[in-house]
């Protein structure tokens, strides 16, 4: 009996400690906030490594690196550097975390004590990834990943896709360097809002995959997925016409830019992200509610990453009331993905598509 009481006491104590660790010392809002991590990599565009196919970034190295980033639970940023010297400079300066090397390049730096190279994934594709000598922890993660991934079905799919499939995506991409049949229209109307046409193209891809007859359950239609009432507000009716659809969409973007431009502290890329979020979720929802709640969290409401970190809270009871938010509960996951995916794709377009 005494032994039972002793065990019960220990278990009860552990339970109390566990509950305390959950509720004490951990701010409530931190439970719902994910902290973004990034790793940068420099690579060339040779040998089907990295290219645009059907408006999406693809490639043998692109897919492998994305698989690795998922393995270590981080985001990746690609930087094109076609010469070995460029990649080595980026690595030595700390602008990238690792670089991709061909076999010949690996051999040429074998005596460089400041650089550590990974294992080769196999004899058919004897590339390596290289890190700075002061980053052995990353090298260990890379070696473990490459050693295990070769036996995974995902690797066999990647290898088949780029080296064995009948359709050679890299060659097809060289023959057709356009993003869509509407590139000229996108270039024309992007000038009206002062945007890089590749950014507008990334938005349109996100909305419709360049399908002119796409219709949402809520009634949004066409390339830019505008609601009919929004299009009519700016004087446009026939949303089935691609040019009219882009005209209406860019008119709406110009309106959002003008409204957000009234906030002097939001400019540059920050301004673009707020415009994209407003395009998806509504201007008042983003500019008023989300920024106001970011201020409540003692964060600068004019920085998108701060606003993005508080948006997940707005779908949880206790973080919103009818008094604190004009528009109530907000399930903002879609909006966060919307902004992130457009900006990420735009970065790939900048890397691989001429202005």
| Burial (Cβ within 10 Å: 0-12, 13-18, ≥19) of residue 6 | exposed
Q: What is the pLDDT of residue 31?
A: 37
Cα–Cα nearest to 91, from 60, 125, 128: 128
Do residues 305 and 36 touch, judged by C-beta distance below 8 A?
Answer: yes
For residue 328, the model assigns a pLDDT of: 77
Q: What is the mean pLDDT of the chain?
A: 89
* CATH architecture classification, 183-352: Orthogonal Bundle (1.10)
Whether the model clears a pTM of 0.75, i.e. scores above it, the answer is: yes
At 48, is the pLDDT very low, low, confident or very high (cuts 50, 70, 90)? very high
- Residue 80 main-chain phi, psi, to 5 deg: -80, 125
Q: Which of 316, 260, 255 is nearest to 288 (CA)?
A: 260
Rounded to an integer, the average pLDDT of 279-303 is: 94
Q: Distance (Å, rounded) from C-alpha 164 to C-alpha 161?
A: 6
Q: Which residues pair with 107 in a beta bridge?
A: none
- Domain 38-174 part of CATH 3.30.70.2740: no
> Residues 247-264: what's their mean pLDDT?
97
- Write the pLDDT tens digit of every residue in 226-239: 999 999 999 999 99
- pLDDT for 128 equals 96
Give the C-alpha distances (Å, rounded to integers) separating 60 from 56, 163, 219, 274.
13, 9, 38, 33
pLDDT at position 5 over 60? no
**pLDDT per residue over 181-200, tens digit each?**
999 999 999 999 999 999 99
Q: What is the average per-residue pLDDT within 246-259? A: 98
For 308-344, the pLDDT digits (tens) are 999 998 888 777 666 667 877 888 999 999 999 999 9
Query: So where are the chain's domains?
Result: 38-174, 183-352
The token duo for 153 is 């079905």
Q: Following DSSP, what letter does each residue of 16-61 receive, concatenated?
A: HHHHHHHHSSS-GGGGGPPPP-EEEEEE-S-TTSSEEETTEEE-HH
Q: Per residue in 138-148, pLDDT tens?
A: 999 999 999 99
């Amino acid at each position: 009996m005494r032994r039972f009481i002793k065990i019960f006491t220990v278990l009860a104590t552990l339970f109390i400690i566990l509950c305390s660790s959950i509720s004490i010392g951990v701010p409530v809002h931190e439970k719902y906030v994910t902290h973004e991590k990034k790793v940068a990599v420099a690579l060339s565009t040779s040998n089907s490594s990295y290219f645009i196919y059907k408006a999406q970034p693809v490639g043998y190295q692109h897919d492998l690196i994305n698989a690795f980033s998922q393995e270590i639970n981080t985001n990746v940023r690609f930087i094109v550097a076609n010469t070995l010297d460029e990649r080595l400079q980026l690595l030595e300066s700390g602008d990238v975390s690792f670089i991709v090397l061909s076999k010949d390049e690996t051999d040429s730096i074998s005596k460089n004590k400041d650089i550590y190279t990974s294992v080769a994934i196999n004899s058919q594709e004897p590339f390596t990834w290289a890190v700075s000598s002061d980053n052995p922890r990353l090298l260990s993660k890379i070696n473990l990943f490459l050693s295990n991934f070769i036996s995974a079905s995902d690797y066999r799919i990647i290898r088949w896709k780029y080296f064995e499939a009948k359709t050679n995506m890299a060659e097809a991409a060289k023959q057709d360097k356009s993003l869509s049949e509407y590139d000229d229209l996108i270039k024309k109307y992007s000038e009206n809002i002062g945007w890089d046409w590749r950014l507008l193209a990334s938005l349109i891809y996100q909305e419709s995959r360049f399908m002119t007859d796409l219709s949402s359950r809520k009634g949004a239609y066409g390339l830019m997925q505008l609601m009919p009432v929004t299009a009519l507000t700016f004087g446009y009716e026939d949303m089935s016409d691609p040019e009219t659809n882009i005209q209406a969409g860019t008119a709406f973007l110009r309106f959002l830019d003008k409204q957000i431009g009234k906030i002097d502290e939001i400019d540059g890329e920050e301004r673009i992200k707020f415009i994209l979020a407003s395009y998806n979720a509504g201007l008042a929802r983003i500019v008023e509610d989300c920024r106001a709640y970011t201020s409540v969290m003692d964060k600068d409401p004019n920085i998108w990453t701060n606003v993005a970190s508080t948006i997940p809270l707005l779908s949880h009871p206790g973080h919103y009331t009818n008094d604190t938010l004009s528009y109530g509960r907000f399930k903002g996951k879609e909006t966060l993905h919307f902004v992130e995916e457009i900006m990420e794709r735009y970065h790939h377009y900048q890397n691989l598509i001429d202005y």
